[in-house]
């Protein structure tokens, strides 16, 4: 009878072991960090009304939608640039032009954001670093053309310089690009000229909210 006395205890131990094993799903693989487009795709993407500097999205009835609040009335992050979402950018911002970074403005920065960051990515050649800016003051609301926040840092781009490198797809090709703004939960420990891919990974790992605007070149 002694064996029967311990049977419930053995069964209980086996059950606990099964639950612990089932709860531990770590198979040794690491998830690949999301790209800027993947993160920003879940956020509000803004566009510019023609001949204005106001971010506007239009509903099915043709009326403008207020993109500064979500359905529950909460403020959401938005970003604007000197082109409408999805259109071809002016030559002034391409490698064929003066390669000055565009004027960028934003609204809806979450109160808990400790810094902001910008990442420009060629979605057809994501390994090419065009522009990565970190540690933008979250109390600011814009960057003037050709300039960055004085406290911000910029990564080394794939053209071999620090800062902005205009889109320059191979002759005869048109590439899709995304310019994403990230609200981060910290000020990053990065410096001017740091590796662009590494700075991007640090931005992705600290992002709490993001918004993007797309274009072609």
- Per-residue HEC secondary structure of 104-127 comes to EEEECCCCCCCEEEEEEEECCCCC
Residue among 19, 16, 83, 79 nearest 48 (CA): 83
Which CATH superfamily is 29-216 part of?
PEBP-like (3.90.280.10)
Residue among 86, 102, 119, 106 nearest 207 (CA): 119
Identify the residue with better confidence: 62 or 206.
206
What is the percent of the chain where pLDDT is above 90?
A: 48
Question: What are the φ and ψ backbone dihedral angles of 8, each rounded to 5 degrees?
Answer: -60, -35
- Confidence at residue 92, expressed as pLDDT on a 0 to 100 scale: 78
The label of the residue with tokens 């070149």 reads 217
Domain ranges of the chain: 29-216
Q: How many Cβ atoms sit within 10 Å of the Cβ of residue 191?
A: 12
- Confidence at residue 171, expressed as pLDDT on a 0 to 100 scale: 85
The label of the residue with tokens 């050709």 reads 146
The mean pLDDT of the chain is: 74
Q: Which of 22-26, 94-98, 148-152, 172-176 has the lowest mean pLDDT?
A: 22-26
Q: What is the spatial distance between Cα 85 and Cα 128, in angstroms, rounded to a whole number? A: 22
Q: What is the spatial distance between Cα 119 and Cα 97, in angstroms, rounded to a whole number? A: 20
Q: How many Cβ atoms sit within 10 Å of the Cβ of residue 32?
A: 7
Check residue 186 and report its DSSP letter: S
The answer on pLDDT for 103 being more than 60 is yes
């Amino acid at each position: 009878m002694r064996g029967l006395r311990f049977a419930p205890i053995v069964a209980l131990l086996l059950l606990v072991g099964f639950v612990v094993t089932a709860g531990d799903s770590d198979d040794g693989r690491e998830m690949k960090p999301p790209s800027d487009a993947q993160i920003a795709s879940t956020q509000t993407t803004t566009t510019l009304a023609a001949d204005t500097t106001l971010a506007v999205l239009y509903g099915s009835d043709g009326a403008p939608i207020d993109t500064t609040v979500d359905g529950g009335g909460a403020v959401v992050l938005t970003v604007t640039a000197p082109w409408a979402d999805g259109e071809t950018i002016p030559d002034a911002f391409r490698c064929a032009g003066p390669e000055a970074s565009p004027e960028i403005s934003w609204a809806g920065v979450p109160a808990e954001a400790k810094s902001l960051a910008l990442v420009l990515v060629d979605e057809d050649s994501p390994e090419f670093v065009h522009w990565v800016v970190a540690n933008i003051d979250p109390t600011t609301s814009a960057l003037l053309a050709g300039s960055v926040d004085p406290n911000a840092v910029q990564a080394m781009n794939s053209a071999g310089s620090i800062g902005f490198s205009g889109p320059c797809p191979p002759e005869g090709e048109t590439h899709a690009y995304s310019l994403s703004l990230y609200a981060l939960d910290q000020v990053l420990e990065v410096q001017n000229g740091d590796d662009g891919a590494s700075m991007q990974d640090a931005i992705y790992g600290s992002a709490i909210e993001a918004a993007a605007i797309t274009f072609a070149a």
